[in-house]
Structure 1
Amino acid sequence: MSSLIRRPIVEDISTGSDSDYSNSWISWFLSSKGNEYFCEVEEDYILDRFNLTGLNTEVQSYSQALDLITDQLDEDIEDELRGSVEISARFLYGLIHARWIITSRGLAKMLEKYKKADFGRCPRVLCYSQPLLPIGLTDTPYEKAVKLYCPRCEDLYSPKSSRHGSIDGAYFGSTFPHMLFMVYPNMIPSKSTSDGKDDHHHRDRERSDKAPLGVGSVSTVAAATKAERYRPKIFGFHIHEVAKLQRWQDAVRDRQISQLEGLERGD
């Protein structure tokens, strides 16, 4: 378990002015440093208890945390208790946020942030500054920090900022980016490369022909079999077209590994 997300992030609890805090807890939370990835969850969604089903068993001081988020918490509450309620409120808002951003209105809000590249851009040169989207590797809190998904190369990256890198991935969930592109298929970026595609493949083929079968003491076969791949899912199920492509890619990789094993044995 990563130490970065062993408990909810509590830094900058005092960030923002008193006037911001008195106007709206949510607006204060969103304006705090490190929370730029989050969008505003509409109050009507939060006040509908059906949308919060099951969260009361996951959050300590659930009722008070919900009151704080909706600006209904008693102002006379002790400072020490307010601090613990504040932590619970941040955690609860994150869990609500994960549910909200896969609704039609939540997707629309996150789409606007995506268009403005609020989540950063892909560092890969051949992705040509493609905007990224936040994603969780698991929907269970306290397990994995948030990552950034590139819809062009379909790979994952860690946020540049340590503040963003310590956000729990469960606050965005494993479904969000793929649901966004199913609802807005026109936003899926083209996978085609620029001119000179064949030349790139030719040079890559030449380099691979000349490359050694291993790097240092690690064989190519061992490295290939341990390589991790990100597999897009919606509610835990593989996306059909992507899954079909990946089954073909896995079959090709397995054949290549078999050929490498033969070369390493000297067959």
Structure 2
Amino acid sequence: MITEDQFQKEIQLIIANAIREDVGDGDHSSLACIPEEAKGKAKLLVKDEGIIGGVDFAKQVFEYVDPNLKIELLVPDGSSVKYGDIVFYVSGSSQSILKAERLVLNAMQRMSAIATKTKSYVQLLEGTSTKILDTRKTTPGIRALEKWAVKIGGGENHRFALYDMIMLKDNHIDFAGGISQAIQKTKQYLIDTNKNLKIIVEARNLKEVKEILQSEGVYRILLDNFSFDDTRKAVALIGDQCLTESSGGINENTIRDYANCGVDYISSGALTHSVHNMDLSLKAV
């Protein structure tokens, strides 16, 4: 997985690019009518309910835009919120607050939605040993924010990107000439490049599970679109040889049943690609 330093670099890139995109050569709306020396205060107002996410990111945005802005935090990341709650106050340069406003809201609305959905899945898994994972089905350019939001909601991150874990899916297997060939070529590649990366292999049926188990060095087997019955059989076959993961169209109605099959992880792209933004506002006070 990526290091904390790498992750923070991703966050700083997101902030810098978003401000570049939004501000360009200046926030002319504010420059036109608000004096440079004007001071103000605003509150982050919740107009919805769920799990708040992106508070720490917002603090980094304000710091980037203007280190002199002051934040009074009332509700931390991961907290349950309802309509009318105030998450924080920000005070300082009025121009700076307005420059940061849209990035803060856009990020927090999406991060809160992802954290809320993730939390609902985590709650559905309570009492089992199964953990919820995200995927790479994220919005291009802001993956770090969306994966951060999953963790805020109590989920776990899968690999961050193509470079920090090897995942041999159906297309890799087919292009490589089969499961055994793909695994052996991968193991040789890791030796040749002196890389230490975990290997996940996707199985489409029980026959493929058995073939994967013939090779050593596989960290986790992904059971893709398996029925409940076949999932239970696969878990029994795999035993403690490696970890197990279920994926493929799993939703609120089926997640508990898959967990009860005994898998270690359930991955869901819906955590990041199918959410409805939380309604938040930044209002002057």
Both proteins in one fold, TM over 0.5: no
Higher helix proportion, which one?
1
TM-score by length of 1: 0.30
Q: Identify which of structures 1 and 2 has the higher relative contact order when contacts are C-alpha pairs closer than 8 Å and 6+ apart.
A: 2
TM-score by length of 2: 0.29
